[in-house]
Amino acid sequence: MQSRSTAVWSMDGMDDVLLAKHQERYGATGKLFRAPGRVNLIGEHTDYTGGFVMPMAIGFHTSAVVSPRHDHRMVFYSQNYREEVSLEPNDLMKGRRDHWSDYPAGVAWSLGQEEIEFGGFNMTLSGNVPLGAGLSSSASVEVATVMAILNLAGKGLPLEKIATLCRRAENGYVGAKSGIMDQFVVAGAVAHRAMMLDCRSLEFDLLPLPENVRVVIVNSMVKHAVATGEYGSRRDEVEAGQEVLRHERTGIDLLRDATLADLESCREKMSPASFHRCRHIITENSRVQKAREALLAGDVKGFGDLMVAAHASLRDDFAASCSEIDSLVEIALRHPACVGARITGGGFGGCTVNIVQVSAADNFVAMVRNEYRQATGIDAECFICEPADGALELATKGGKA
């Protein structure tokens, strides 16, 4: 079930419309591929130093309808932006244009880097993943695009390859220094399960969430963008700290290998900012592992407490929260049915993720919306979610959720 405080979405209906629009515009029956958005339950800013994350897919999607062309052009039409972009293969070498089409074009570029051959195509894209909300609208576009192009090329790739290809599109073409989490879960998630991913080995566990709780996403409506500013500067601070640890201590390749004692011993050798960012990541990796144990033991309260601690760490050590988000977390934790609440995604705005007793989820949404409006004057959007299928599962089910 997925409900939205302001509108009810039916993707199946939207997909039929999209197929019809594609037919109308390109005179061909296309094939449709869908990739969801995601929410991260715990494990923030740990992915790009080989750590642990625990995201799940959510019931918002990007759909890509594709049909072949007789030449080598790649034509992308965005139903959301009502705009068409037509590219020659050589255009991909010119790099990004700071435009929505960078995401699908980046995927085509990344496939080329892998020497995967494909012919020209027309692609119609449409999605309802909220933009700039930290719910992986970008990864959703990338994964839907790669699924469509691979199908056209008659090729199948394993999950790790799909995620790595899409991440390279984002890092190497779009210019966002993101990790592997979003692309991996958007491609590989399974309904009714959270995914705990080891971002170094890419091994993962699919974990059940207790049936008596729901995941409630609250959008602060404060926009963030991974491609710009703060995300990149945090990552630079983390990498500078990681470099010191690598140099000073034996056996440390990635921050994931370091303990708090290692970090403490190197405190004077790094900037205070690097020290705090690394401390967040080291403690967060341990929280994700404990969160896995809590889920396996059916300990929802323990899981919620770890989320609350994760929020404090992202706010205080990683300095990636903002006043609106902090206010949403405080409001949420005042509700008796809320077990845990924290910021989710890249930070600096976007959404909170909350674990709430199912019987009180609607009441929770009403209370949070009301108190947030009083505190900030902003109308928050709330989504009551359960873990959804990723793109690979959706494809095996013929595109139907």
How many angstroms from the chain centroid is the CA of residue 131? 11
Which one of 178-186, 207-215, 254-262, 333-341 is the stretch in contact with ligand GLA (CB under 6 A)?
178-186
Binding to ligand GLA by residue 79, rule CB under 6 A?
A: no
Least Cβ distance, residue 40 to ligand GLA (angstroms)? 6
Question: Toward ligand GLA, which CB reaches closer, 145 or 357?
Answer: 145
Binding to ligand GLA by residue 324, rule CB under 6 A?
A: no
Among residue numbers 236 through 275, which ones bind ligand GLA (CB under 6 A)?
Answer: none
Strands (E), 2-146: 3-4, 31-42, 52-68, 74-78, 83-87, 121-127
Least Cβ distance, residue 358 to ligand GLA (angstroms)? 27
Count Cβ atoms within 10 A of the Cβ of residue 314 and give its class: 0-12 exposed, 13-18 middle, 19 or more buried.
buried
Which one of 43-51, 64-72, 155-163, 389-397 is the stretch in contact with ligand GLA (CB under 6 A)?
43-51
Count CB neighbours of 226 within 10 A: 26
Per-residue burial over 114-123, b if 16 or more Cβ lie within 10 Å, else e, is eebebebbbb
- Of 26, 33, 48, 52, the one binding ligand GLA (CB under 6 A) is 48
Binding to ligand GLA by residue 277, rule CB under 6 A?
A: no
- Of 79, 140, 178, 285, the one binding ligand GLA (CB under 6 A) is 178
Tell me how far apart the terminal alpha carbons of the chain are, to the nearest angstrom: 11
Least Cβ distance, residue 45 to ligand GLA (angstroms)? 5
Binding to ligand GLA by residue 182, rule CB under 6 A?
A: yes
- Of 179, 304, 340, 399, the one binding ligand GLA (CB under 6 A) is 179
Do the Cβ atoms of 107 and 169 come closer than 8 Å?
yes
Instruction: Give the CB-nearest residue to ligand GLA.
Output: 178
Binding to ligand GLA by residue 188, rule CB under 6 A?
A: no
Least Cβ distance, residue 48 to ligand GLA (angstroms)? 6
Binding to ligand GLA by residue 287, rule CB under 6 A?
A: no
How far apart, in Å, are the Cα atoms of 240 and each of 236, 255, 272, 315?
6, 11, 11, 20
How far apart, in Å, are the Cα atoms of 280 and each of 60, 153, 169, 197, 202?
30, 43, 28, 18, 22
Residues 217, 381: Cα–Cα separation, whole Å: 8
Residues 129, 39: Cα–Cα separation, whole Å: 11
Least Cβ distance, residue 158 to ligand GLA (angstroms)? 20
Binding to ligand GLA by residue 346, rule CB under 6 A?
A: yes
Q: Which active-site residues does the annotation give?
A: 182
Interface ranges with ligand GLA (CB under 6 A): 40, 44-45, 47-48, 178-179, 181-182, 226, 345-346
